[in-house]
């Protein structure tokens, strides 16, 4: 099984390894939950909240020749809403070359969710994108749709970016 290249995908280490690119409203929050499957998750507020990690692939154990063969890159993310408040979820993942120029991007349409939406997973596989991959930018988040004070917006957790290992 390929390893997850994202660090701190559940918020177990507060916001370490994440850059808060938008931190609106009452800002990002982390909630600890008594659940065997998910110990914690990130929550957004009433104005846009986005956070990002950029993975440096050459420092993550991949060599340039293998990356130039365009190995399959799989992205996964889990999102839901608060039981009493809906929200808007956003995801943007880009494959970048050595100059951090975009090779390929996955940016689905923002998802508007009603109150109490169950956990949903989004998955995308990058294939046939050509040579030059050196970095992966993963950014996600959202906001609530009722403009409530606090962190009642989109919840995200269990994010992952994996690369198919060498055969």
Q: CA–CA separation, 1 vs 68, rounded Å?
A: 21
CATH 3.40.50.720 fits 19-163, yes or no: no
Domain map (residue ranges) of the chain: 19-163
Confidence of residue 39 (pLDDT cuts 50, 70, 90): confident
What CA–CA distances, in Å, run from 66 to 93, 101, 103? 20, 19, 16
- Distance between CA atoms of residues 4 and 14, nearest Å: 18
Report pLDDT digits (tens) over 141-164: 999 999 999 999 999 999 999 999
pTM of the model: 0.95
Percent of the chain clearing pLDDT 70 (strictly above): 97
pLDDT in tens, 101-124: 999 999 999 999 999 999 999 999
When pLDDT is averaged across residues 77-94 and rounded to a whole number, the result is: 96
What's the pLDDT score for residue 73? 98
What is the C-alpha to C-alpha distance for residues 156 and 141, in angstroms, rounded to an integer? Answer: 7
Give the pLDDT of residue 17: 98
Q: What angle do CA 137, 141, 145 make, to 5 degrees?
A: 155
pLDDT band for position 34 (50/70/90)?
Answer: low
3-state DSSP assignment of residue 125: strand
């Amino acid at each position: 099984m390929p390893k997850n290249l994202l660090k701190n995908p559940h918020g177990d280490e507060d916001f370490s390894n994440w850059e808060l690119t938008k931190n609106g409203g009452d800002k990002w929050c982390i909630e600890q939950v008594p659940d065997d499957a998910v110990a914690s998750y990130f929550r957004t507020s009433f104005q846009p909240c986005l956070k990002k990690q950029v993975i440096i692939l050459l420092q993550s154990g991949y060599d340039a020749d293998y990356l130039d063969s365009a190995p399959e890159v799989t992205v996964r993310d889990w999102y839901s809403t608060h039981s009493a408040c809906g929200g808007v979820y956003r995801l943007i993942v880009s494959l970048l070359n050595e100059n951090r120029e975009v090779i390929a991007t996955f940016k689905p349409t923002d998802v508007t969710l009603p109150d109490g939406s169950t956990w949903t997973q989004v998955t995308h596989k990058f294939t046939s994108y050509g040579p030059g991959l050196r970095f992966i930018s993963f950014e996600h988040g959202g906001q609530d749709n009722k403009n409530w004070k606090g962190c009642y917006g989109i919840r995200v957790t269990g994010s992952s970016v994996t690369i198919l290992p060498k055969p």
